[in-house]
Amino acid sequence: MRAAAGPAPVVAGRWAEQRALRLLKQRGWQLLDRNWRCRWGELDLVLHKPGRLLVVEVKGRRSGVDGWGVAALGAGKRARLSRAFACWQAAHGHRAEDPAELVYALVPLPPARGPVRWIRVAA
């Protein structure tokens, strides 16, 4: 029998999202939506500061084999996130005109250590 490598992927993903969210709240961001879904996909975190929106795609990884998740953030993923965000904007008309930015939060999962790596994708 194999020893468990760590928490289940869903638990690990929630842990990574919570770590990213905690850091963003410390920087003054307020959560609008978490795990918001539509037919095009899911937005992990949608946050705001007055007049600004931040959409965060969180990737938690146990090792740096794939650049801590960078390999999962290709053109197809960016297109799905863009469509999902357009759907979110349609559902939240009062925020549709706020400038938005998409960032990836690459979060090392235990037992790995290190800071969250933030990658700005679009403004």
CA-CA-CA-CA dihedral for 7, 9, 15, 20, to nearest 10 = 150
Distances (CA, A) of 47 to 2, 9, 30, 110: 40, 24, 5, 25
User: How many domains are contained in the chain?
Assistant: 1
Asked if the structure places residue 58 within a domain, the reply is yes
> What is the extent of the structural domain holding 66?
9-122
3 domain residue, yes or no: no
The predicted structure's pLDDT at residue 75: 81
Q: Supply the CATH number for residue 58's domain.
A: 3.40.1350.10
With respect to residue 99, please indicate whether it lies within any of the assigned structural domains. Answer: yes
- Do 44 and 57 contact (CB within 8 A), yes or no? yes
84 within a domain of the structure (yes/no): yes
Question: Is residue 4 situated within a structural domain?
Answer: no
pTM for the model: 0.83
**Predicted local confidence at residue 3, as pLDDT:** 44
**pLDDT at residue 7 above 70?**
no
The phi, psi pair for 70, rounded to 5°, reads -60, -35
2 within a domain of the structure (yes/no): no
**Greater pLDDT, 75 or 85:** 85
